[in-house]
């Protein structure tokens, strides 16, 4: 250390020997320091080449160039972060609630930060904005992304519940995504669908359409890592050498729209990766115009749109002016030659069915608008004057006369019959017995009514009929029928505890065998080994 407390600086100077070596590599080799420390010396203006300060790590040296390094060994020289290539302006909020945040992403801005430091991103800008507004613990959850040079509407989740629901929507494709694109070339059809599989290349990280390969079994299979991609499109406007389309995504793969249209031969305008550069636009002409789905928490339908950016509007204006010049040069006037999309038959049938459904809804709403009577008061009746109501027509003998209106509480009048008709039946009072029908002498006599508990009388039986059986009292034994000489005699009733008598047989019958006293007296059955197939069981 020198006088006055200042630390001595170390200086190293030498001449480069190798042609074309990088400055940071030269410091690493000569001074035996790390690459990070060598870059720190260069960033802090401690290195000069031929007397001039060098600020580039990759500056190529020539043989004989003089390199000088002056630094303080007690200090730490860190690598300075690179200047941001894109200054992110204030983001625009399209729609927001407690769980979701819809923002407009400008072209050229990353959705999330990358591993390289210093790159601005939309997620960092949103988080910093909320922190400045006083949110100490603000969490922003990434749901999906847009390409760096694609503009449009983007959604973020603010709560774990919304994140879980949105991930489910994206996995099951239960959302509506509409894009606006300008293609180079003229599509021959007005609408269609691009279906295939996309795969990512490990070295270039570019996406391409996968082709099936021959498998080990002889069939064709998709390569490992290929994912299905489905894109629906329809033509909106045709311009000279270009086609404006509206795209609806069924699946959301990385660079899906750009890769599928480029594979078919119609790359996006200004796409420098899958197409060619264009003087009209310095990025791909792709804009996320609409995003809609059912709210993951409140289950309400949410649809958010983003306006067309200025650079794409300028490109469309230039193409339309070119179309006017071409029409004027060829002498075309009026609407001749202007593209008008035709409606397909399926789309027309769906539109008509939707219109009918809304018509029925309108009729139902009109019927529901009829005023409803409150309960209580009687329905008002229409009154007629003497001259308003037409006289009733003369009714024939078979017509029914008009019935007078009864007042509330009045008894219902009974219908009267003529002498030739059936006489009116007298009305029974509550509790009176129902009158029995009387019969003439030629008819069946009336049957006497049995009192409660009295036995039912039996009809007089003839000599061939079975005699009436006397009624047994409760607890009395049931009498046995007296049998003839050939019938079996009735067995006598055993008392409780008496042994059951055994049946005896005559000389002509089978003689009774000896009775076994126990189960052990039965001779053991000799087991026979089973051979052949088992005998099937009966169902």
- Average pLDDT of the residues in 432-436: 70
CA–CA dist 122, 8 (Å, integer): 46
Give the start-to-end residue ranges of the domains of the chain. 10-71, 92-203+227-324
In this predicted model, what pLDDT tens digit does every residue of 148-165 receive, in sequence order?
999 999 999 999 999 999
- Average pLDDT of the residues in 371-383: 56
Q: Which residues are catalytic?
A: 147
Contact call for residues 150 and 236 (beta carbons, < 8 A): no
CA angle 293, 294, 298 (to 5 degrees): 145
CA dihedral over 91, 92, 94, 98, signed as positive or negative: positive
Tokens found for residue 297: 């928490």
Most confidently predicted of 54-58, 335-339, 417-421, 433-437: 54-58
| Beta pairing class for 220-221 and 213-214 | antiparallel
Residue (of 88, 293, 268) closest to 180 by Cα position:
268
Looking at residue 162, its pLDDT comes to 94
Share of the chain above pLDDT 90, in %: 27
**Architecture in CATH for domain 10-71:** Roll (3.10)
CA–CA dist 291, 289 (Å, integer): 7
In this predicted model, what pLDDT tens digit does every residue of 224-243 receive, in sequence order?
889 999 999 999 999 989 99
In this predicted model, what pLDDT tens digit does every residue of 202-216 receive, in sequence order?
777 888 999 888 777
Query: In this structure, which topology does domain 92-203+227-324 adopt according to CATH?
Result: Pseudouridine synthase (3.30.2350)
Most confidently predicted of 168-182, 345-359, 480-494: 168-182
Most confidently predicted of 55-64, 114-123, 382-391: 55-64
Q: What are phi and psi of 508, to 5 degrees?
A: -80, -20
Q: What are phi and psi of 279, to 5 degrees?
A: -70, -15
In this predicted model, what pLDDT tens digit does every residue of 488-531 receive, in sequence order?
555 566 666 666 666 665 555 555 555 555 444 555 565 555 65
Of 15-29, 99-113, 187-201, 307-321, give the lowest mean pLDDT range: 15-29
Looking at residue 84, its pLDDT comes to 44
Residue with tokens 């030659």: 337
pLDDT at 284 over 60: yes
Looking at residue 498, its pLDDT comes to 65
Q: What are phi and psi of 359, to 5 degrees?
A: -65, -45
Residue (of 268, 276, 144, 255) closest to 204 by Cα position:
255
Classify residue 79 as exposed, middle or buried by CB count within 10 Å of its CB (0-12, 13-18, 19+): middle
Chain center to CA of 63? 68
Q: What's the whole-model pTM score?
A: 0.50
Mean pLDDT, the chain, rounded, equals 76
Contact call for residues 261 and 183 (beta carbons, < 8 A): yes
């Amino acid at each position: 250390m020198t006088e006055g407390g200042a630390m001595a600086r170390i200086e190293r100077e030498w001449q480069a020997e190798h042609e074309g070596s990088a400055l940071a590599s030269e410091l690493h080799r000569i001074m035996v320091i790390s690459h990070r420390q060598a870059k720190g010396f260069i960033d802090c203006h401690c290195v000069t080449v031929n007397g001039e300060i060098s600020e580039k790590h990759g500056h190529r040296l020539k043989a004989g160039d003089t390199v000088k390094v002056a630094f303080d060994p007690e200090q730490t020289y860190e690598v300075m972060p690179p200047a941001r290539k894109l200054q992110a302006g204030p983001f625009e909020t399209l729609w927001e609630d407690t769980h979701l945040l819809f923002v407009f992403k400008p072209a050229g801005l990353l959705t999330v930060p990358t591993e390289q430091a210093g790159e601005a991103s939309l997620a960092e800008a949103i988080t910093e904005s909320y922190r400045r507004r006083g949110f100490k613990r603000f969490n922003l959850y990434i749901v999906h992304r847009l390409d760096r040079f694609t503009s449009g509407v983007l959604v973020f989740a603010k709560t774990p519940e919304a994140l879980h629901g949105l991930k489910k929507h994206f996995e099951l494709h239960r959302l509506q995504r509409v894009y606006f694109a300008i293609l180079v070339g003229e599509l021959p059809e007005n609408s269609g669908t691009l279906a295939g599989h996309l795969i990512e290349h490990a070295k270039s990280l570019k996406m391409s359409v996968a082709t099936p390969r021959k498998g080990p079994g002889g069939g064709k299979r998709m390569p490992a890592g290929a994912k299905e991609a489905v894109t629906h499109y329809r033509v909106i406007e045709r311009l000279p050498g270009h086609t404006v389309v509206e795209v609806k995504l069924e699946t959301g793969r990385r660079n899906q729209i750009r890769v599928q249209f480029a594979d078919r031969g119609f790359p996006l305008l200004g796409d420098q990766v899958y197409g060619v550069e264009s003087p009209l636009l310095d990025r791909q002409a792709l804009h996320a115009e609409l995003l809609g789905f059912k709210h993951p928490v409140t289950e309400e339908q949410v649809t958010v749109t983003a306006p067309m950016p200025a650079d794409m509007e300028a490109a469309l204006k230039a193409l339309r002016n070119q179309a006017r010049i071409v029409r004027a040069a060829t002498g075309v006037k009026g609407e001749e030659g202007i593209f008008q999309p035709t409606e397909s038959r399926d789309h027309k049938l769906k539109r008509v069915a939707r219109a009918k459904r809304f018509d029925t809804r309108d009729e139902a709403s009109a019927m529901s608008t009829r005023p409803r009577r409150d309960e209580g008061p009687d329905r008002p009746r229409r009154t007629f004057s003497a001259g308003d109501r037409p006289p009733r027509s003369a009714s024939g003998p078979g017509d029914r006369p008009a019935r007078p209106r009864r007042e509330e509480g009045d008894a219902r009048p009974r219908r009267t019959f003529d002498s030739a008709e059936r006489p009116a039946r007298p009305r029974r009072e509550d509790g009176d017995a129902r009158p029995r029908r009387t019969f003439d002498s030629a008819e069946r006599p009336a049957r006497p009514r049995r009192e409660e508990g009295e036995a039912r009388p039996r009809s007089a039986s003839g000599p061939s009929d079975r005699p009436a059986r006397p009624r047994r009292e409760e607890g009395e034994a049931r009498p046995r029928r007296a049998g003839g000489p050939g019938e079996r005699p009735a067995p006598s009733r055993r008392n409780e505890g008496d042994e059951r008598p055994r049946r005896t047989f005559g000389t002509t019958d089978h003689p009774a065998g000896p009775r076994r006293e126990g189960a052990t007296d039965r001779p053991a059955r000799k087991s026979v080994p089973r051979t052949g197939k088992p005998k099937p069981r009966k169902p």
